[in-house]
């Protein structure tokens, strides 16, 4: 009879440790936790924006405060992003884990936010005494703004750390598949912005506890995943190129990057692309209201359409990553990437211009003139709230006239007839006293609006592809020592061009094409707004296209010159030659 052998304690400990903590770099898992962190911090930034909107709606902050915060934070990001990309280059693992965990803990500070009670989100009717919303804890309202500012800062810094050091880490350990990884990270960042406000942060208004737990738990898991999937010392592989440790000073890295004309030109082209899609997406609701007289309800059908659009955009990014990686392609050809980008830009220019030029006859809108709006005389006594943030058009069928809301049509009741919602006792409908939900042009413009949604998908897909391509060209054109600083500079350029200069540009367009300006903000744009917005976006993309074409021309000239000159032996330098 053999006695049971007691296992060696050290072997058990080692096996347990290896089971929980990886000894090799699992790039797909690292990308997964980075993607989760980017989505979580983006939603955190959107939640901070929602907090500001609550204060604006409640009347505690002026209407321009949200746009002011976007611009000021963009300026701050422009300044600090390169430095964040430089700090901690030798401690990426601990920086990523600590940033995610600290921000997750900070999220619980949202429970300390004093409640702000805003008016009902339902339909406003005539002859209702619309009182201004009050505050639950008036003496604690000054506490909200510092917490909101800290929210922007914490989530913004964490995003920069995750994106800069995470991208550099993946590129160091899996450079051959970097096109796929970089495309997925940038695309999910963009898509989280697109649907974050409308779909992924709604719990903030209805059940803030759920929203806080979702973000906090998500970031905590991401922090744990970083520790588990990123070993302290990465094993040496043939694909892992050695990174020189000398001359990694901040200004040395900045100098090497800015002295590279190819990198700076691609950075500007990428930032312009981000500026166009940001301006169009941010003003999407105003665009639709002005052009189609439509109010998009976030029902199940609309959400399914959004999800389908997301899948299409992600497919484009993944497809580009697959064809520019092994086994399809062993090294990245920069000219091929930029050639695809040129075609994408051509489609985007057509999409932007067509979106503003699509025909849609909206018919007569009561009170709406060419450059102004005045509440109809038939509902002047209703006391409609001019501060309401949404327009809910209704149609008085006996006159085929659209009114901006049930209150502006003088309606004081609602009922359902054969499943159709009908507003009743409308003073602006003298024959029947009824109005139907939606504009009178709703049926005729729905088909054109479907084409608009298709064009919007083309814009998002083209933007994702262009950002992915420009980013890879830059990553393959800089010194290995400067990867994270480069990504920080990319974030800085996008913040400056898109969220600062671009945001101010589109705000100027909004101000100059406003039909109904009331209480410090534009309630409704005129018919020129969609056309001007589409034309400006197309012009911005045209600049990116010209930069890209010029880059390809110079690359072709350089290639011909290199072929005509005899090869000269040079000492191997530290620059990244993968995919050159």
Tell me how far apart the alpha carbons of residues 35 and 191 are, in angstroms, rounded to a whole number: 12
- Buried b / exposed e over 523-553, threshold 16 CB at 10 Å, is bbbbebbbbbbbbbbbebbbbbbebbeebbe
Structural contact between residues 312 and 457, judged by C-beta atoms closer than 8 angstroms: yes
Helix 442-475, helix 483-494: angle, nearest 10: 150
| DSSP letters spanning 411-428 | --EEEEETTEEEEES-TT
Asked if 439 and 402 count as a contact pair (C-beta separation under 8 A), the reply is yes
Total-model pTM: 0.87
Q: Comparing C-alpha atoms, which of 484, 464, 480 is closest to residue 81?
A: 484
Q: Is residue 245 part of a domain?
A: no
Take residue 150 and report the two structure tokens written for it.
């800290």
What is the Cα–Cα distance from 191 to 187, expressed in whole angstroms? 6
- Has residue 369 been placed in a domain? no
- Listed residue (577, 482, 492) closest to 167, CA to CA: 482
Residue 1 lies in a domain: no
- Asked if residue 103 and residue 179 are part of one domain, the reply reads yes
Q: Are residues 414 and 456 in the same domain?
A: no
Question: What does the pLDDT read at residue 573?
Answer: 44
List the one residue out of 503, 461, 498, 501 whose CA is nearest residue 348.
461
pLDDT at position 260, please?
Answer: 93
Q: Are residues 95 and 168 in the same domain?
A: yes
Per-residue pLDDT at 25: 73
Q: Do 43 and 150 lie in a common domain?
A: yes
Q: Exposure string (b/e) for 352-377, b if CB count within 10 Å is 16 or more?
A: bbbbbebebebeebbbbeeeebebbe
Task: Copy the structure tokens of residue 13.
Answer: 């400990």
Regarding whether 465 and 351 lie in a shared domain, the answer is yes
Angle at 386 between CA 527 and CA 145, to 5 degrees: 105
User: φ, ψ for residue 481 (rounded to 5)?
Assistant: -70, -15
Using CA of residue 106, residue 111, residue 114, residue 119, what is the dihedral sign? positive
pLDDT at residue 23 in the model: 62
> CB 127: neighbour CB atoms within 10 A?
15
Kindly state the tokens that stand for 354.
Answer: 């067509």
Residue 188 falls within a domain, yes or no?
Answer: yes
Predicted local distance difference test score (pLDDT) of residue 12: 46
Q: Identify the pLDDT of residue 19.
A: 45
Strand 413-417 to 521-525 pairing: unpaired
Q: Rounded to 5 degrees, what angle do the CA atoms 97, 190, 63 make? A: 100
Half-sphere exposure of 352 (CA within 13 A, CB side): 30
CA distances from 448 to 15, 24, 353 (A): 62, 53, 15
Q: DSSP class of residue 441?
A: T
Q: Are 365 and 402 in contact (CB under 8 A)?
A: yes
**Is residue 218 domain-shared with residue 324, that is, in the same domain?**
no
Q: Would you state the pLDDT for residue 321?
A: 87
Domain final residue pick, 440, 472, 490 = 440
- Output the DSSP codes for 358-404: -------BTTB-SS-B---GGGGGG---TT-S----EEETTTTEEES
Q: What CATH number is attached to the domain comprising 101?
A: 1.20.1250.20
- The CA distance from 232 to 17, in Å, is 13
pLDDT of residue 437: 86
Residue 146 belongs to a domain: yes
Q: Say if residue 157 is in the same domain as residue 285.
A: no
Structural domain total, the chain: 3
152 with 212, same domain: the answer is yes
Does residue 578 sit within a domain?
Answer: no
Q: Looking at the structure, tell me whether residues 120 and 26 fall in a common domain.
A: yes
Is 504 among the domain residues? Answer: yes
Q: In whole angstroms, what is the distance from residue 102 CA to residue 95 CA?
A: 10
Q: Which residues pair with 368 in a beta bridge?
A: 373
Identify the domain containing residue 34 by its residue range. 19-129+137-239
Residues 160, 77, single domain; the answer is: yes
Give per-residue burial for 69-99: e unless 16+ CB within 10 Å, then b.
Answer: bbbebbebbbebbbebbbbbbeebbebbbbb
User: Tens-digit pLDDT profile for the chain (580 aa)?
Assistant: 455 555 556 554 554 455 455 667 778 888 999 999 999 999 999 999 999 988 887 778 888 899 999 999 999 999 999 999 999 888 888 999 999 999 999 999 999 888 776 655 556 788 754 444 443 444 456 788 899 999 999 999 999 999 999 999 998 888 888 999 999 999 999 988 888 887 777 777 778 888 899 999 999 999 998 888 888 766 555 555 566 666 788 999 999 999 999 999 999 999 999 999 999 999 998 898 888 887 777 667 777 788 888 889 999 999 888 888 777 766 778 888 999 999 999 999 999 999 999 888 877 888 887 767 888 888 888 877 655 546 788 999 888 899 988 888 988 888 888 878 899 989 898 888 899 888 888 777 888 888 999 999 999 999 999 999 999 999 999 988 899 999 999 999 999 999 999 999 999 999 999 888 877 778 888 889 999 999 999 999 999 999 999 999 998 888 888 777 665 554 444 444 444 4
Are the beta carbons of 534 and 352 closer than 8 angstroms?
Answer: yes
Residues 351 and 397 in one domain: no
Tell which of 440, 461, 492 closes a domain: 440
Contact call for residues 228 and 161 (beta carbons, < 8 A): no
Is residue 429 one of the residues assigned to a domain? yes
Q: How far apart are CA 519 and CA 8, in angstroms?
A: 75
CA distances to 56, 122, 201, 202 from 205, in Å: 14, 14, 8, 6
> In angstroms, rounded to a whole number, what is the distance separating the alpha carbons of residues 464 and 180?
12
> Buried (b) or exposed (e) across 181-199, using 16+ Cβ within 10 A?
bbbbbbbbbbbbbbbbbbe
Asked whether residue 430 falls in the same domain as residue 471, the answer is: no
What are φ and ψ of residue 113, in 5° steps?
-65, 125
């Amino acid at each position: 009879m053999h006695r049971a052998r007691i296992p060696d304690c050290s072997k058990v400990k080692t096996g347990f440790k290896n089971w929980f903590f990886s000894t090799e770099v699992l790039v797909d898992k690292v990308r997964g936790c980075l993607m989760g962190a980017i989505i979580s911090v983006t939603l955190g930034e959107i939640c901070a924006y929602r907090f500001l909107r609550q204060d604006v709606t409640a009347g505690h902050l002026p209407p321009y405060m949200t746009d002011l915060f976007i611009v000021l934070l963009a300026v701050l990001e422009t300044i600090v992003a390169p430095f964040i990309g430089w700090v901690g280059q030798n401690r990426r693992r601990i920086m990523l884990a600590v940033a995610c965990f600290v921000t997750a803990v900070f999220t619980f500070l949202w429970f300390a936010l004093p409640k702000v009670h805003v008016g009902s989100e339902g339909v406003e009717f005539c002859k209702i005494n619309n009182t201004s919303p009050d505050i639950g804890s008036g003496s604690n309202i000054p506490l909200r703004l510092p917490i909101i500012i800290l929210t922007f800062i914490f989530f913004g810094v964490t995003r920069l750390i995750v994106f800069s050091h995470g991208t550099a880490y993946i590129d160091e350990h899996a450079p051959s598949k970097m096109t796929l990884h970089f495309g997925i990270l940038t695309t999910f960042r963009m898509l989280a912005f697109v649907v974050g406000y409308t779909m992924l942060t709604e719990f903030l208004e209805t059940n803030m506890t759920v929203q806080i737990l979702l973000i906090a738990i998500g970031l905590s898991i991401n922090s744990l995943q970083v520790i588990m999937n990123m070993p302290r010392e990465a094993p040496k592989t043939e694909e892992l190129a050695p990174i020189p440790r000398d001359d990694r000073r901040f200004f040395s890295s900045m100098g090497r990057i800015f002295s590279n004309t190819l990198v700076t030109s691609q950075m500007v082209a990428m930032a312009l692309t981000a500026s166009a899609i940001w301006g169009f997406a941010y003003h999407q609701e105003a665009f639709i209201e002005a052009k189609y007289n439509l109010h998009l309800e976030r029902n199940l059908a609309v959400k399914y359409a959004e999800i389908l659009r997301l899948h299409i955009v992600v497919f484009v990014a993944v497809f580009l990553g697959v064809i520019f990686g092994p086994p399809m392609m062993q090294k990245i050809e920069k000219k091929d990437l930029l050639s695809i980008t040129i075609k994408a830009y051509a489609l985007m220019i057509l999409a932007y211009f067509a979106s503003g030029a699509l025909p849609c006859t909206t018919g007569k809108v009561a009170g709406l003139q060419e450059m102004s709006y005045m509440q109809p005389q038939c509902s002047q006594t209703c006391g409609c709230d001019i501060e309401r943030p949404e327009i809910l058009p209704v149609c008085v069928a006996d006159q085929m006239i659209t009114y901006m809301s049930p209150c502006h049509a003088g309606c004081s009741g609602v009922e359902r007839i054969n499943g159709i919602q009908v507003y009743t006792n409308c003073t602006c409908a003298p024959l029947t006293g009824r109005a139907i939900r939606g504009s009178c042009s709703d049926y005729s413009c729905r088909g054109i609006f479907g084409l608009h949604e298709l064009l919007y998908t083309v814009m998002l897909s083209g933007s994702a592809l262009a950002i992915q391509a420009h980013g890879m060209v830059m990553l393959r054109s800089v010194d290995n020592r400067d990867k994270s600083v480069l990504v920080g500079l990319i974030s800085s350029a996008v913040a400056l061009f898109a969220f600062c200069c671009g945001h101010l540009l589109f705000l100027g367009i909004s101000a100059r094409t406003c039909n109904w300006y009331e209480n410090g903000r534009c309630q409704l744009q005129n018919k020129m707004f969609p056309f001007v917005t589409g034309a400006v976006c197309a012009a911005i993309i045209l600049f990116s296209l010209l930069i890209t074409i010029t880059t390809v021309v110079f690359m072709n000239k350089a290639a011909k010159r290199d072929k005509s000159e005899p090869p000269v032996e040079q000492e191997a330098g530290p620059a990244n030659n993968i995919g050159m």
